[in-house]
Chains A and B, each alone.
Chain A
Amino acid sequence: DAGVIQSPRHEVTEMGQEVTLRCKPISGHNSLFWYRQTMMRGLELLIYFNNNVPIDDSGMPEDRFSAKMPNASFSTLKIQPSEPRDSAVYFCASSWDLSNQPQHFGDGTRLSIL
């Protein structure tokens, strides 16, 4: 069974550049979540979708962050312009729905903004 697939695994870019992170959820899962992990704040939820519709983006730190889910098998998280403080590991997770079901995580994208 294919799990949640994220790309790229690593991204190093200069401040001010646009960064796009990609996620393919588990087939059949209707809910998708984007998280960010840092030493200071741990794992924090940025935004989540249900049936491709954004439900809650209150965790998105600033307007520089945006996320889309154009179809059931693909989502992007975009940062424009990027800043050094955006450096973190970004995880995507999916679950069957928003009921009490476990979320399954991808292996993350380690983002470094120089």
Chain B
Amino acid sequence: DQQVKQNSPSLSVQEGRISILNCDYTNSMFDYFLWYKKYPAEGPTFLISISSIKDKNEDGRFTVFLNKSAKHLSLHIVPSQPGDSAVYFCAAKGAQKLVFGQGTRLTINP
């Protein structure tokens, strides 16, 4: 029973363009959502979060959108840079616990 799903295992984007990573969840009790970025042999690094009372949060090149009715969130990165190539995990929080998606590998091509 996967409560948080990232349906695209991989995504390839040209440098300078927008990267859009998607995440769906099933549990309507989730009230806080996060995106993490992970490089090989390192731990996940926190990127950006959003509370369920908001529908958008921006931090520099990163914007997270939350659509509660669709139980969907997305991460927009613009403009995409080569250093953004990594695996991105979305996570949802409910009952004090984080549930992670399986990750999307983003590759930024020069």
Where the two chains meet, the residues of A that have a C-beta atom closer than 8 Å to any C-beta of B are: 4, 33, 42-45, 48, 55-56, 91, 93, 98, 100, 102-108
Whether B89 contacts A55 by the Cβ 8 Å rule is: no
Known: A45-B98, A100-B49, A100-B93. 4 other contacts (CB 8 A): A42-B100, A43-B44, A107-B42, A107-B43
Tell which of B46, B51, B99, B101 touches A103, judged by Cβ atoms closer than 8 Å: B46
Whether A104 contacts B102 by the Cβ 8 Å rule is: no
A-side interface mostly: strand
Tell which of B32, B36, B45, B46 touches A100, judged by Cβ atoms closer than 8 Å: B32
**What residue in chain A is nearest B33 (Cβ atoms)?**
A100
- List of B residues within 8 angstroms of A43 by Cβ: 44, 89, 100
- List of A residues within 8 angstroms of B46 by Cβ: 102-104
Where the two chains meet, the residues of B that have a C-beta atom closer than 8 Å to any C-beta of A are: 31-32, 34, 36, 41-46, 49, 51, 89, 93, 96-103
- List of B residues within 8 angstroms of A44 by Cβ: 100
- List of A residues within 8 angstroms of B41 by Cβ: 107
Complex-state Cα separation, A92 to B8, whole angstroms: 26
Q: 10 smallest A-B Cβ distances: which pairs? A: A105-B43, A100-B32, A43-B100, A102-B46, A98-B96, A107-B43, A42-B102, A105-B44, A106-B43, A107-B42
